[in-house]
Amino acid sequence: MRPAAAARRGLALTLALVVGAFGGAALGSVVQGDPGEVRVDPADLAPTGPDVETPPELEPVIPDTLLAWIPGGLPTGFASRVAALPGVRRVVPVVSGIAWMTRSVTSGGAIVDDPGGGRALPLEVAAATLTDYAPFLAPADRSLIPRLAAGEAALGSTSAEIRRIDVGGTLEMGPDELLVAGVLPDTAIGAHELFVSRATASSLGLTRERYVLIDPADGASREAITAGIRATLPAGALIQIRGPGETPFFRQGDAVLPQVQMKLLLGEFSARPVGGYLDADPAWTGKSIVTTNVPLLGTVRCNRALIPQLAGALLELQREGLGHLVNPGHYGGCFSARFINRNPAAGISHHSWGAAIDINVAENPFGHTPHQDPRLVAIFERWGFTWGGRWILPDGMHFEFVRFAP
């Protein structure tokens, strides 16, 4: 174990005593009638989760593939303008969004998921024009194209693990039923949970293009293509252009974990949209979300699995004499079941998993130049968080789980 990791592990192993002393009788306090707040004991503050970082995704089939995405989605005609640029061989835009699964059934007729209670399971779905997307798939995976064209669906490999549905099983998406045609590698579909045709996506209410995949022509300059792409947009427009291996996941919003990874690491919940918020399954909330006290901030309500490293980061700040960098009066919360920016079209916020925390909110408003102290940022990043202040559209108050701390 590296010395720094050993030091953090040592901090984590003492958290039960420190947090217990800090919180006193308040540790594990319960708000009566709220199933989301549950009692915790010091054992809950021992390190949890694997001692490894989430492994990076492998490179796409076409080794020089570029990916371009814009916060909020691509403007109309963007893909066509990129396709017309010199040095671009082919382009395919990818639709992405949330569709709601009300039930799943195996090929033998056994029900696997049936949330009930008016709730459904949110699945992140990707779609593309299949003939245009096929070159970006491995030859063996292209055999699914005819079945997808007929209205069936492919699960991503991680999604298949979570769903426990075999080929020939059925996903009920409200009035629509999707037959599972097969499984595609997460790398092939941008780490989405489900991949379908554009026509199928449209029937699910998904039409917004989130990113484009670009196959450069032989000998084409990435710098020239990048400059050409930027020239198609108004001056100052935000755009992220990536190459293989530059981010753990080759997709839009690549600074955070894909939804399927959140489910794999922190669990899956059913929910019912209520405006910009979610009425999440109280059974999941009661099991996964806890209220306790941590150094510097006091009472927090977060995912049970997150508490050890959150408290570890705060305790390290305190021990290093940096506690003044956290203003408890400007704490913005952790668990909040809602859509990103309370916009149902934007996807589900990772606050819904209790996996993100907002600190020093008054000094770091969304979309503005962040003002967090770099020493605070460095400590949180060592403890497995990503900082929103580094994002293309900065969110300086926001620290989000991306890996379990070693």
Task: Indicate if 126 and 275 belong to the same structural domain.
Answer: no
pLDDT, residue 248, reads 86
Exposure string over 32-59, b if 16+ CB within 10 A, otherwise e: eeeebbbebeeebbebbbeeeebeebee
**Residue 60: inside a domain:** no
Domain identity same for 147 and 235: yes
- Asked if 151 contacts 197 with a C-beta cutoff of 8 angstroms, the reply is yes
**CA separation for the pair 74, 19 (Å, rounded):** 46
63 burial level (CB within 10 Å; 0-12, 13-18, 19+): exposed
pLDDT at 7: 46
Please indicate, yes or no, whether residues 317 and 283 belong to a single structural domain of this protein: yes
Structural domain total, the chain: 2
Of 65, 238, 59, 205, the closest CA to residue 125 belongs to: 205
What's the CATH number where 283 sits? Answer: 3.30.1380
Note whether 228 and 361 are same-domain residues.
no
Residues 72, 209 share a domain:
yes
Tokens 């290093």, residue? 320
- The answer to whether residue 249 sits within a structural domain is no
134 found inside a domain: yes
H/E stretch holding 223: helix 222-231
pLDDT at position 60 is 60
Q: Which domain holds residue 315?
A: 3-54+257-401
5 CA to centre of own chain: 25
393 and 303 share one domain: yes
Task: Give yes or no: residues 236 and 320 share one domain.
Answer: no
What's the confidence (pLDDT) of residue 61?
A: 65
In a domain, 248, yes or no: no
Do residues 393 and 382 lie in contact, with contact meaning Cβ atoms separated by under 8 Å? Answer: no
Determine the 3-state secondary structure of 216 from DSSP.
strand
pLDDT value of position 63? 77
64/215 Cα distance (integer angstroms): 7
pLDDT tens digits, one per residue of 154-198: 999 999 999 999 999 999 999 999 999 999 999 999 999 999 999
CA-nearest of 311, 321, 322 to 383 is: 311
Tokens of 312: 């570890």
What is residue 229's predicted lDDT score, i.e. its pLDDT? 98
Are residue 9 and residue 108 in the same domain, yes or no? no
Q: Give dist(CA 294, CA 367) in Å, integer.
A: 28
Examine the domain organization and report whether 87 and 222 are in the same domain.
yes
From 177, 197, 62, select the one nearest 128 (Cα to Cα): 197
- Cβ 264 vs Cβ 161: under 8 Å: yes
Say what the pLDDT of residue 207 is. 98
Q: Is residue 129 one of the residues assigned to a domain? A: yes
Residues 217 and 143 in one domain: yes
* H/E segment holding residue 266: helix 259-266
Q: What is the pLDDT of residue 25?
A: 30
Q: What is the DSSP string of 141-194?
A: GGGGHHHHHTT-EEEEHHHHHHHT--TT-EEEETTEEEEEEEEE-GGGGTT-SE
Which tokens in the block code for residue 278?
A: 């979610």
In a domain, residue 278? The reply is yes
Q: Which of 200, 219, 242 is the last residue of a domain?
A: 242
- Positions of the chain with pLDDT lower than 70, given as ranges: 1-61
- pLDDT of 308 reads 97
pLDDT for 247: 87
Q: Where are the alpha helices (DSSP H) in 267-399?
A: 282-288, 307-319, 374-382
- Residues 121, 202 within the same domain: yes
> Does any domain span residue 335?
yes
Which secondary-structure segment (H or E) carries 104?
Answer: strand 103-105
- Residue 245: predicted pLDDT: 86
Q: What is the pLDDT of residues 351-377, one digit of tens each?
A: 999 999 999 999 999 999 999 999 999
Position 386 scores a pLDDT of: 98
**Residue 206 and residue 125 share a domain:** yes
Query: How many angstroms separate the CA atoms of 159 and 262, rounded?
Result: 11
Domain contains 247: no
